[in-house]
Chains A and B, each alone.
Chain A
Amino acid sequence: MRFERSHTRKAVALAVAGSLALLASACGGDDGSKSDTGGAAAGALEGRGPITFATGKDTSGNLGAQVAAWNSQHPDQKVTVSELPESADAQRSQMIQNAQAKSDTFTVLNLDVVWTAEFAANRWITQLPEDKFPDLGKLLPSTVDTAKYRDKLYAVPVTSDGGLLYYRKDLLDKAGVKPPTTWAEMKAACDKVKALPEGKTISCYAGQFEKYEGLTVNFSEAVNGAGGVVVGDDGKPNVDTPEALAGLQFLVDGFKSGEIPKAAITYQEEPGRRAFQEGNLVFHRNWPYMYALANKTDGSSKVAGKFAVAPLPGKDGAGVSTLGGHNYGINEFAKNKATAVDFINFMASEERQRANIEKTSQAPTWASLYDDAALNKQFPYLAPLKASIGSAKSRPKVVKYGDVTTAIQEAAYGALTGTTPPKDALAGLQTKLSSLITP
């Protein structure tokens, strides 16, 4: 009986030990990959055949048509679309997981502009030779800049995005003022509108001030618009400056005086859009996507036909927008990279970008499309958008972008809610960024 018992135990122990050994070897495999520095195949953009295009959920509804156009021309190099979740965070983590597993599942990656540095520094995307992308010179230079890390090209910008100042044309006309180009003019215009009988309950200005990526965008725009920088061209943070303080002060004062409504501290894109559509704002900073929605005549917008757009104002002149948009990069571990290069060139071509903006109103990266008469008729905001994107700045190009944007949000939110004096917030941010950014 003793024997039997120990025997049973032994069998169980064996089973457990066996599976543990299996797991241990799995761990070992994981460890083994550490010594691999990766990038052995960098630069070798070879191989043709079917590829996969990993992108966030296609909310535009036009991606299928774009890819079908490629597939009909290249039946032997078919592109399969792999739709990732709609949330940017989820897309990023799926792409990172694939890269860390050195998977070749995805070939071409649709990357948010702020991910470029992180993906490049980790060698998750292939460095691209500029001569293989003949159209690069015809794209808006600021968009191409977002695709570079340490002056080397890692992706190709296919869509862009810039901030616009939406304003109530009807009210400004009535008050007899022109769209503002500086913050002071904006304030003056606002005061005049508020003197009108229709302007009694209206607030002056809003942007995206909730503690999320939108706050980083709005804070950067305020700082850049006052002549400051968050991270300088030398890659070092330089945010504890009088210019940056003037920018932040503009927002802080706005909240204090009530020109920016109190509720704006909770605004992401959509609540802000609703406030403007309800007629509660004279000026609102938002992306171009809002134009079509605010102009809907189905009753959802009270300001349809009553507003127009202008480039963002700045402290002493034209403002500086923060760049949005998406770049296409190639997975370092993918096969058929030659096909991937062709596909990226195809999607970035003027013809495809024109087809895309016609259907989806996504901002293109081709400079010439912004001057196209037919498109300008369809999208009256193209001229101000070109100005916005043309002078726009990228957000800090840093490997630890997630930490950097969190630090920026923390500092800006503290200042806007009045818990930290703006000067202290910037000094603290400078210290924090210095520890996060390795030059």
Chain B
Amino acid sequence: MSASAAPVKAGPGKQTTKADRVTSFNEGTGRLAATLLSPTLIVLVLVVVYPIIAALRESLYTSGDRVDADGFIVQGSQFVGLDNFTAIFSGEVGDRFWNAFYNTTFFTVTCVVLETILGMAMAMVMHKAFKGRSVVRAAILVPWAIPTVVSALLWKWIFQADGAANALLGQQILWSTEGWQSVLSVIIADTWKTAPFIGLLVLAGLQTIPDEVYEAAKVDGASPFNTFIRITLPLVKPALLVAVLFRILDTLRIFDLPFVLVGANKSSVETLSILAYLESNQNRYGPAAAYATLLFIYVAVTAFVFVKLLGADVLGDAVQKKKGKKNGKSKNKLDAPPGVGPAAAAGGGGGF
């Protein structure tokens, strides 16, 4: 029992360690488990581990850089160690990298903040019971259903010189040129598209809050603002954090929206993904892989910090961890009833 209630720290690839915790397996069951799991593992290795390792390896090589006397590319790739990485941080390339890094971060912070506020508001509206609620819900979700490239084209059309945006504003702003206006156009389009996503997840969270809690607040005479801050927000926090985390990870690798809406090689909206793409498009796979690796590290670190700082429940394993821990210390929180957590965790573990 002590083994099965222990925190499960496993990521998706480590699920087999669950088998270790169960003491009553005989050798045959263990072998069966390994056999049954191996296809999954192989697939995981093929689609997750291999690309990462291949990209890491690729980032240490360079090829196709030189032309011989007859004008032919010198074939073969050379091992250059970390040169591709060091090259990124120096000179003109470095300026471009830091600009892209800044843009990526700026988009992520701005867009996610705006989307969270708007998404929250959308969720509150969708949660309210009123006539035609389903129509409003559907309408709010339409932007999320549209593929990014299509919505980018849509906004490109709105933001062109003789487009709807300028007609509405009565001015001629050249949105796709370098400058604040192109940044703004990307933020508008991204927020429009993905605020509904946050709205959707938050709505799911809102619907799990029991009415009794609000009734109790009403009886206590809490103002709507206080109710929101003290009840709605804390209770919807787990769902909200997952939504925000997803959006952060998504926006960090933003590519298609600025690429289609504003265009390639526009330094105002160039992001790390775009840099990596442009490099690979010139057949410089080594430097491209280096950019991609840096972006990968950036995304991983951000996700890690976010989860550590705010305790977002991403994979579901945190539920078990938290419930185990909270059992003692957090009785005053309006979380799930104590007692359910460990039981569920034990059930989940033993059921394997």
Contacts and interface: CB of A to CB of B under 8 A. Distances in A.
Q: Do A and B bind each other?
A: yes
Interface of A: 1, 3-5, 7-9, 11-12, 15-16, 18-20, 23, 27, 34-39, 89, 93, 96, 120-123, 149-150, 210-212, 262-263, 265-267, 271, 274-275, 278, 399-400, 402-403, 406, 409-410, 413, 417, 419, 438
Smallest CB-CB A-B distances: 8 pairs: A11-B34, A263-B161, A34-B76, A15-B38, A8-B30, A150-B71, A402-B282, A19-B45
Interface string B20-44: 1001011100110111011001100
Contacts of B263: 210-212
Interface of B: 16, 19-20, 23, 25-27, 30-31, 33-35, 37-38, 41-42, 45-46, 49-50, 53-54, 57, 64, 66-67, 70-73, 75-77, 160-162, 172, 174-178, 263-266, 278, 281-283
B41 A16 contact: yes
Contact of B172 (A19, A35, A37, A263): A263
Contacts of B67: 121, 399, 438
Contacts of B278: 406
Contacts, number: 121
Nearest to A413: B178
- A-side binding surface: helix, strand, loop or mixed? helix
A403 B282 contact: yes
B174 A266 contact: yes
Given A36-B75, A211-B265, A266-B174, 15 more contacts: A4-B27, A8-B30, A8-B31, A11-B35, A12-B34, A15-B38, A15-B42, A16-B41, A16-B45, A19-B41, A39-B72, A149-B71, A266-B176, A271-B160, A419-B178
B76 A35 contact: yes
Contacts of A39: 72
A181 B208 CA distance: 75
Given A4-B26, A417-B177, A19 B46 contact: yes
A260 to B, nearest CB: 13
Nearest to B161: A263
Given A8-B33, A409-B265, A123 B45 contact: no
B75 A19 contact: no
Contacts of B283: 96
A29 to B, nearest CB: 13
B217 to A, nearest CB: 51
A439 B30 CA distance: 65
19 contacts: A8-B19, A8-B33, A11-B30, A11-B34, A20-B45, A20-B49, A23-B46, A34-B75, A38-B75, A39-B72, A121-B67, A121-B72, A123-B72, A211-B266, A212-B264, A263-B161, A403-B282, A419-B178, A438-B66
